[in-house]
Structure 1
């Protein structure tokens, strides 16, 4: 009788154990997250980061297609490597933060690629211009947190970043690689 009961309950126990491990990651941990970029100036890689951003997400690795993400970057929080560079890139020719203080990405879809790899697609708005963007990323658990890491490339001139004399791609390359690492805890 006990064996029969055990055989009947075993599948239910496995299902409930699987459900206990499924989690929706939604509480972003900004102190453990980063948004960085790499561009080329006269052929030399130049990196930087943004110190302030707000990320909101909903992601359950068992149902990635139901996921969503929204990222807002405070463009004035840029660290482009020096005080002079920081002052230059917030100006009108570059980010024009007086008129466009934030860059925003809003997801439209998330899909699984297999092996802990995913892809999020949506709309990226910088300097008042909106373009479609797709970012491949990986997801893994780190203790009780989820780690989302990825990178994608934008063409800065699509967003009017670096106008006037700075639009010469021989001086500053058009392609800019954006890298992100977002850590989030399960729950809301």
Structure 2
């Protein structure tokens, strides 16, 4: 016959992994940061544009089709994130030839790589209302680090943000037969109007 003390010890050893697992689960839940609030972009009031030097003059273009998923809380920057998907074929310049050329294989290669994606998960405050978003941009299958400088003005559930960044187009394999006429530096600008979701 097994001794009562031995039986209790056996049951305790069997229960220990379950209790330990539950304790770790509770501790992990307590340590996890709270999720940042989700924001919905008002695309009718927002814009996403680029500009580049072409033959000595600044050429401005605007993307007509893009989507953004934003989670932002100024009190909880470690939980902030943003994902932007851009239909590269929707880039429109005042010059129709420039618009059609931008989609060609040597430039944005819209047929082979229809979507450019920016993903940012590192938010740092540089001044009141000013943030740097650390992330990566993928264009034509090439992924490179990219920081966005963002100025945010928020009141209640409404916010507006002005976004700026610069990249070197050759880092993403973007170029063409007249590339010596086109500057390497491309500036990205965005004005985003959004509201916080409940």
The answer for the alignment partner of 2:143 in structure 1 is 130
Counterpart CA distance in 2 for 1:115 and 1:142 is 14
Question: Structure 2 unaligned runs (5+)?
Answer: 1-35
TM-score, normalization: structure 1? 0.81
Which structure has more relative contact order (CA 8 Å, sep 6+)? It is 1
Counterpart CA distance in 2 for 1:187 and 1:81 is 35
Counterpart CA distance in 2 for 1:54 and 1:150 is 15
The answer for the alignment partner of 1:51 in structure 2 is 64
**Are the counterparts in 2 of residues 136 and 150 from structure 1 also a CA contact under 8 Å?**
yes
**The one of 96, 109, 127 aligned to 2:122:** 109
Structure 1 moving runs of 4+ over 4 Å:
none
The answer for the alignment partner of 1:5 in structure 2 is none
**Are the counterparts in 1 of residues 88 and 103 from structure 2 also a CA contact under 8 Å?**
yes
The answer for the alignment partner of 1:183 in structure 2 is 193
1:172 aligns with 2:196: no
The answer for the alignment partner of 2:90 in structure 1 is 77
Q: CA deviation at 1:71?
A: 0.4
TM-score, normalization: structure 2? 0.78
**Tell me, what secondary structure is at the counterpart of 1:91?**
coil
Equivalenced residues, count = 163
**Are the counterparts in 2 of residues 36 and 179 from structure 1 also a CA contact under 8 Å?**
yes
Question: What do residues 80-125 of structure 1 show as CA deviations (whole Å, max 9, x unaligned)?
Answer: 2122211111011111111000110011311111221001011100
The answer for the alignment partner of 2:170 in structure 1 is 157
Question: Structure 1 unaligned runs (5+)?
Answer: 1-22
Counterpart CA distance in 2 for 1:44 and 1:55 is 30
Higher-Rg structure is 2
Counterpart CA distance in 2 for 1:85 and 1:180 is 20
